[in-house]
Amino acid sequence: MSSEENTGFEPATGDGPPPAEPAAVRAASVRTAFEGLLQIRRLTGDGRPDPVAAPAPWELNRPVRAVALALESSGATPSAVDPSGRRVSAGYRVGDGESAGSVRVEWAGPPGSGAAHDEEEALAGCASALRELGWTVLLYRGPRRRRYLEVEPPSGLSGGHGRA
């Protein structure tokens, strides 16, 4: 029995351990979860010309999980940490944003990994993948001039207050 069967599928946020399962197994799990998300959009998007073009209520109530799934399904690489919390690989990192219902996406990596050098191009790819799925994405510069994305539902959609 895999760990996923014991705990359910969790998209990679960039703050977890490196994947324990083979890449093909993880890719199949991500694909299944993403197809489920698109099906939720189809079922809840009645009345919209393209029901899969905007986040569903499920996503708005779990924006960190939804954005992490969208990024992982796009082929973006998540960062990872070891058991002590030390970053061990470069990639996206998803967490709560500045305002309720928003998500922050950073490009993080261990010292010397080149994450800061790669972030502009990597975050542009993340932004493109998220915009294709109907999210509003803004690019900012934070401390030490590091770039990050602030991801929000499109105008007219509002999420719940839960965080996951």
Within the chain, residue ranges assigned H as helices are 3-7, 23-44, 57-61, 63-73, 115-132
Q: 121 near 131, Cβ under 8 Å?
A: no
pLDDT string in tens for the chain (164-residue length): 344 445 678 999 999 999 889 999 999 999 999 999 999 999 998 778 898 999 999 999 999 999 999 999 999 999 999 999 999 999 999 999 999 899 999 999 999 999 999 999 999 999 999 999 999 999 999 888 899 999 999 886 655 443 33
Helix (H, G, I), strand (E, B) or coil at 148: strand
pLDDT of residue 142: 87
pLDDT of residue 83: 94
pLDDT of residue 8: 79
End-to-end CA separation in angstroms for the chain:
25
pLDDT of residue 133: 96
DSSP state of 144: G
Taking the C-alpha atoms of residue 40 and residue 51, their distance in angstroms, rounded to an integer, is 9
Cβ contacts of 2 within 8 Å, gap of 6 or more: 21, 25
Taking the C-alpha atoms of residue 80 and residue 12, their distance in angstroms, rounded to an integer, is 9
